[in-house]
Amino acid sequence: MIKEFQGEYRWLSNFWPVQIKYKDRVFHNVENAYHSEKSDDSFYKDFCAFEADPRIVKERQLDMITLRSDWDDVKVEIMEKLTRIKYQNLELRQKLLDTGDQEIQEGNSWNDIYWGINLETGKGENILGKIIMKIRNEIKIKNA
């Protein structure tokens, strides 16, 4: 089981540097592309594409945007699309396949029980881990 996106599994993180081409922009990582979709503001989307550091994008989003009204309805679909783009990268695709059938959980200490699992309590929906495992299974089927 992969319990968290640290150490040898840091590449599973949405913060991992990988080129994400999405909607006529190129982002430095999944995290930035994801945050860009929270708003329809083109200035904010450009900021997300330009800024390399996902921590800065994540911090500034609260000050810069009005959240799209449909965000809760579309956020999982958007995350899945962006994660799928990430694993088009051949090196990351192979790393993902090399995880075999291990369960992947986005364990964290910041109490994100929607995308991940709280490592202290073991509680969480682990939506991101499930998306990654789904994509891994799709790649395996396609490669079979």
Rounded-to-integer distance, Cα 132 and Cα 84, Å? 8
Residue 13 belongs to a domain: yes
Q: What pLDDT, on a 0 to 100 scale, did the predictor assign at position 61? A: 73
Q: What pLDDT, on a 0 to 100 scale, did the predictor assign at position 90? A: 97
Residue 2 belongs to a domain: no
Q: What is the dihedral of CA 72, 77, 82, 88, to 10 degrees?
A: 170
Residue 125 belongs to a domain: yes
Q: What pLDDT, on a 0 to 100 scale, did the predictor assign at position 62? A: 66
The DSSP code for 8 is: G
Residue 107 belongs to a domain: yes
Rounded-to-integer distance, Cα 83 and Cα 5, Å? 14
Looking at the 3D structure of the chain, how many domains does it have?
1
Count the neighbouring beta carbons within 10 Å of the beta carbon of residue 7. Answer: 7
Q: For residue 19, what are its two tokens?
A: 């080129």
Residue 44 belongs to a domain: yes
65: pLDDT confidence band, cut at 50, 70 and 90?
confident
Average pLDDT over the chain reads 95
Which domain CATH number covers 36?
1.10.357.40
59: pLDDT confidence band, cut at 50, 70 and 90?
confident
Residue 91 belongs to a domain: yes
Euclidean distance between the first and final Cα of the chain, in Å? 23
Digit-coded pLDDT (tens) for 90-142: 999 999 999 999 999 999 999 999 999 999 999 999 999 999 999 999 999 98
Q: What pLDDT, on a 0 to 100 scale, did the predictor assign at position 64? A: 67
Q: Which long-range contacts (CB under 8 A, 24 or more apart) does 116-120 make?
A: 119/3, 119/4
Q: What pLDDT, on a 0 to 100 scale, did the predictor assign at position 60? A: 82
Task: Tell me the sheet residues that pair with 26.
Answer: 21
Mean pLDDT of 61-83: 89
Residue 1 belongs to a domain: no
Mean pLDDT of 42-47: 93
pTM of the model: 0.94
For the chain, what percent of residues have pLDDT higher than 70? 98
CB 5 within 8 A of CB 13: yes
Residue 126 belongs to a domain: yes
Domain that holds residue 59: 7-143
